[in-house]
Amino acid sequence: MKKTSDRPWFLRNLPLRIVSVIIAALMWLLVTNASNPTIVIQVSSVPVKLSNTEVITDQGMVYSVLDNTDFIPTVYITAPRSIADAIRSDNVVATADLRELTADNTVRIRLDTNIYRNQIESISGSNETLHLAIENRTRKTFTIQTTTVGDVAEGYVIGDVTAEQNQLRVSGAESVVSAIDRAVATVDVTGATGNIYTDVDIRLYDGAGNVIDPAGLTMNITKVRVTATVLMTKDVHIGLVGVSGFPASGYLLSGENSITPDHAAIAGRPSALSGITEIMLPADAVNVSGRDTTLVRQININNYLPDNTKLAGQGFEGIVEVSIGIVPKAYQTVQIAADSVELINVPEGYIAGTPAQIEGSAPASIPVKISGEEADVLSITPDMISAYADLSEVSDQISRISEAGRILTNVKITLPEGIEQEEPVSMTIVVVKNE
């Protein structure tokens, strides 16, 4: 048997040497773990990046992420302290490859880091699955509506509000696009005294007036230039020039007419409003032909506004009510003295007068039948009626009178306003040749 002293030095006390190495390794591990232990850290709110989305979009489909599953609330990382302490949220990479889309529209989320990836023991997240809603893509075109908010300065009103471009094209998920009812551009006009030109965001609304989030939608424009015209206002009277036609036989216009309302606010540029004090409705706007009762008619004064003006009153659409009084005629016969009739244009060489004036016979009266409103007719007295006879109209008869003669001539009657003469009036005069 070979003696121990005869062995190579590295084989001497071999068991002891092996035990020593093991003990040294254990001691190294204990020291290392004590100074750089393995720990678990948490990283919050990690976004998930979607890749290969064309597997959906190339089929004319669109997708949306459900329940915020494209964010991982918490990611857990197990690694040595020296490594874990160096990892930040932007070092965590979360991806969902849509080529791995399942039948129930879910995709597994894969987690990794962009540093120390080979030294990390494990990585996991509180959310491991991306959930998608997938549907058809559709397109729709809307006419952009314009509106205003706020109040212009006192004495002014908003005129036309127009958009430079009035068509909006929207594409996206069918469920979202089909819910859009209108596209609106709203201009704030608070305190304005002049025209407004501004770029306005376009907002989408559903039928209930709720704003639709445009996220996920494609729009050809998101803003539009809008012009809001600001006009001055003026209060004017509403009048009636007259009426057309005539009431039924035996009836007349009472003169008791009204327009309700009889004032309106109109708006326009200062040059257009200058000199305007009233809106006059023409006679052909009110026809009383054949009427035997008061006429009440609604008229739209927008048809009779001065050029380059518009109504400015809030809530007033321009409809006024016109009332034209029509009443039965009242009649009366008034006797006027024949001697009160003035004779004019007596031919040269003749003297003319009533029989009482020329021949000395008893004074005569002339009946004048009049009509009008009852109260007015009953108030008429003979001294309120003036009359004359124009003898130039009977000059041919007078020229044949050699000495004296009687002639029947027409009498012209002048009556107070509102009173009408119903029948012609004539009288007998005596004409004497002046020798």
The domain locations on the chain are 4-35, 38-127, 136-232, 241-328, 331-433
Yes or no: say if 66 and 131 are a contact pair by the CB < 8 Å rule: yes
Architecture of the 136-232 domain: Beta Complex (2.170)
CA distance 121 to 78: 5
Both tokens of residue 173? Answer: 């998920």
C-alpha torsion sign, points 166, 172, 178, 184:
negative
Give the integer Cα–Cα distance in Å for 136 and 63. Answer: 9
Q: Are 135 and 175 in contact (CB under 8 A)?
A: yes
Strand partners, 183: 144, 204
The residue type of 77 is: I
DSSP 8-state symbol, 378: H
pLDDT in tens, 149-180: 999 999 899 988 999 999 999 999 999 999 99
User: At residue 100, what are phi and psi to the nearest 5 degrees?
Assistant: -95, 15
The CA distance from 94 to 98, in Å, is: 13
Q: What is the pLDDT of residue 1?
A: 46
DSSP structure class, residue 170: E
Please state, as a whole number, how many other Cβ atoms lie within 10 Å of the Cβ of residue 25. 10
**3-state SS, residue 161:** strand
Residues in the chain: 435
Distance (Å, whole) CA 353 – CA 405:
11
**So what CATH class is 331-433?**
mainly beta
CATH topology for 241-328?
RNA Polymerase Alpha Subunit; Chain A, domain 2 (2.170.120)
Work out whether strand 106-108 and strand 61-65 pair parallel, antiparallel, or are unpaired: unpaired
10-48 per-position pLDDT tens digit:
555 666 666 665 665 565 554 445 567 999 999 999 999
Q: Does residue 322 register a pLDDT over 60? A: yes
In the structure, what pLDDT confidence band is assigned to residue 401 with cuts at 50, 70 and 90? confident
Among 1-15, 111-125, 240-254, name the one with the lowest average pLDDT.
Answer: 1-15
- Among 31-35, 115-119, 336-340, 344-348, the range scoring the smallest mean pLDDT is 31-35
Q: What is the per-residue pLDDT for 31?
A: 46
The per-residue pLDDT for range 256-297, each reduced to its tens digit, is: 899 999 999 999 988 899 889 999 999 999 999 999 999 999
Q: Which residue has the higher pLDDT, 33 or 141?
A: 141
Confidence of residue 355 (pLDDT cuts 50, 70, 90): very high
In this structure, are residues 282 and 241 in contact, taking their beta carbons and an 8 Å threshold? yes
CA torsion 133→139→144→145, rounded to 10°?
-60
Which listed CATH number (3.40.50.150, 2.170.120.30, 3.40.640.10, 2.40.340.10) goes with 38-127?
2.170.120.30
Lowest mean pLDDT among 29-33, 66-70, 313-317, 356-360: 29-33
Q: Are strands 223-240 and 309-311 parallel, antiparallel or unpaired?
A: unpaired
DSSP string, 357-375: HHT-----EEEEEEEE-HH
Q: What is the mean pLDDT of residues 232-254?
A: 93
> Each residue of 83-92: pLDDT tens digit?
988 999 899 9
Tokens of 389: 């006879």
Same fold, 38-127 and 136-232: yes
CA-based nearest residue to 431, from 385, 388, 410, 400: 400
Rounded CA-CA distance 225/160 in Å is 14
Would you call 355 helix, strand, or coil by DSSP? helix
